[in-house]
Amino acid sequence: MTAVHVGIPVVRPAAAEDVSDRPDTPVLLDRFGRVARDLRVSITEKCSLRCTYCMPEEGLPAIPRERLLSAEEIVRLVAVGVHHLGIREVRFTGGEPLMRRDLEQIVAGCARVVPGVPLAVTTNAVGLAHRADALARAGLTRVNISLDSVDRARFAQLTRRDRLDSVLDGIRAAKAAGFAPVKVNAVLMPQTLDGAADLLAWCLDEGVQLRFIEQMPLDADHEWARANMVPAQRLLDLLSARFALTEVGREDPSAPAERWAVDGGPATVGIIASVTRSFCSDCDRTRLTSEGTVRSCLFSDRETDLRAALRGGASDDELAALWRGAMWNKWAGHGIDAADFTPPQRSMGAIGG
């Protein structure tokens, strides 16, 4: 039998955080002066695909249902984040968020308790065609869709599933449902580099915003190697041979994606250069795992358990205080370039990108 390492991070009882030197402020401040305003909530570890840069072939071990946050618990924590901690936008991720049949219920619940706050989802879009309208009606405001290649064989090789048509249907359904802009995420790899210009041409034709992402050492198979990683500059050089690119910068200072206007604009292509042009010093993210722990950084194995407090009867004020403590002790950044770097225990699918 093959052993699958989902990774058991160090989950700390929330009260264990040292906050003795924390200034008294309601927001999610850390020791480096950053304030987290962007909440990313993973709602499941399950997925319909098995992307090689993320999941093991057999998928992640199932999390027992009672350990997952329920729709009501997610809604409560989102409300605490917005009303007590200054969160300004919320994104649902996973695993694959569409694997939860109650995604519409989660979105509708959040839309009710935090009206006006943007609610987005990052999804592989498998099956989205059947749910895009209902999600829009529930109050979802934006959708980012992962698509690494428009070549069917290459897509199947990268995701270990022959589902390209379902994803393309999902992208078109997202547009038809009125989500705008629809952003497309593609992970940069040696296997995707030769199709990158074709993928950009396809996205320009479809009117969706493509962003390439530098591959991070978050694959469950631990095969990432710096030497094999495709850096942003290599992609820029390649795309420049076919398109005229003009740098236009980030949507806001904390946005991971840098953007270039394509052929004079208004269409853009983005690059999320997490490794070679790290944006950790401007990070504004806080994360909740599907099991209700706060994760202050994608790469940090230290998690703070909110679920136990929530189920133990903690008030909103108490939950907010615990969350603040977790974020106060956030570290400076991922440290991928450090000699002693080791990847986190959880792989990307178990964190939510």
Ligand X SMILES: Nc1nc2c(ncn2[C@@H]2O[C@H](COP(=O)(O)OP(=O)(O)OP(=O)(O)O)[C@@H](O)[C@H]2O)c(=O)[nH]1
Ligand Y SMILES: C[S@@+](CC[C@H](N)C(=O)[O-])C[C@H]1O[C@@H](n2cnc3c(N)ncnc32)[C@H](O)[C@@H]1O
**Closest separation between CB of residue 318 and ligand Y, Å?**
30
Query: How far apart (Å, rounded) are the C-alpha atoms in residues 184 and 148?
Result: 9
Q: Is the dihedral of CA 353, 134, 171, 164 positive or negative?
A: positive
Query: How far apart (Å, rounded) are the C-alpha atoms in residues 287 and 291?
Result: 11
Query: How far apart (Å, rounded) are the C-alpha atoms in residues 189 and 216?
Result: 10
The option from ligand X, ligand Y, ligand SF4, none interacting with 219 (CB < 5 to 8 A, set by class) reads ligand Y
* Residue closest to 304 by CA, chosen among 313, 315, 318: 318
Does the protein bind ligand SF4 through residue 334 (CB under 6 A)?
A: yes
**Closest separation between CB of residue 178 and ligand X, Å?**
16
- By the 10 Å C-beta count (0-12 exposed, 13-18 middle, 19+ buried), 236 is classed as middle
Q: Is 215 helix (H, G, I), strand (E, B) or coil?
A: coil
Q: List, as residue ranges, the binding site for GTP.
A: 40, 91, 122, 183, 285-287
Cβ nearer to ligand X, comparing 55 with 309:
55
The option from ligand X, ligand SF4, ligand Y, none interacting with 183 (CB < 5 to 8 A, set by class) reads ligand X
Q: Is the dihedral of CA 195, 244, 209, 52 positive or negative?
A: positive
Task: Tell me which residues touch ligand X (CB under 6 A).
Answer: 91, 93, 122, 144, 183, 185, 213, 255-257, 272, 274, 283, 285, 298, 334, 353
Q: List, as residue ranges, the binding site for S-adenosyl-L-methionine.
A: 53, 95, 146, 216
Cβ nearer to ligand X, comparing 128 with 283:
283
Contacts 24+ apart (CB under 8 A), 202-205: 202/150, 203/269, 204/262, 204/267
Cβ nearer to ligand X, comparing 122 with 289:
122
Closest chain position to ligand X (CB)? 353
Are 119 and 143 within 8 A, CB to CB? Answer: no
Are 353 and 93 within 8 A, CB to CB? Answer: yes
Task: Tell me which residues touch ligand Y (CB under 6 A).
Answer: 47, 53-54, 93-94, 96, 122-124, 146, 185, 187, 213, 215-216, 218-219, 348-349, 352-353
Terminal Cα-to-Cα distance of the chain (whole angstroms): 29
The option from ligand SF4, ligand Y, ligand X, none interacting with 260 (CB < 5 to 8 A, set by class) reads none
**Closest separation between CB of residue 61 and ligand SF4, Å?**
14
The option from ligand SF4, ligand X, ligand Y, none interacting with 6 (CB < 5 to 8 A, set by class) reads none
The option from ligand SF4, ligand X, ligand Y, none interacting with 255 (CB < 5 to 8 A, set by class) reads ligand X
Q: Is 343 helix (H, G, I), strand (E, B) or coil?
A: coil
User: Where is 39: in which H helix or E strand?
Assistant: strand 38-42
Does the protein bind ligand SF4 through residue 293 (CB under 6 A)?
A: no
Q: List, as residue ranges, the binding site.
A: 40, 47, 51, 53-54, 91, 95, 122, 146, 183, 216, 280, 283, 285-287, 297
**Closest separation between CB of residue 122 and ligand X, Å?**
4
Q: List, as residue ranges, the binding site for [4Fe-4S] cluster.
A: 47, 51, 54, 280, 283, 297
Kindly report the number of other CB atoms within 10 A of residue 251's CB atom.
Answer: 13
**Closest separation between CB of residue 28 and ligand Y, Å?**
22
Does the protein bind ligand SF4 through residue 279 (CB under 6 A)?
A: yes
* Residue closest to 49 by CA, chosen among 187, 183, 176: 187
CA dihedral 168, 174, 179, 183 (to 10 degrees): -20
Using CB under 6 A, list all residues that contact ligand SF4. Answer: 47, 49-51, 54-55, 94-96, 124, 146, 279-280, 283, 285, 297-299, 333-334, 348-349
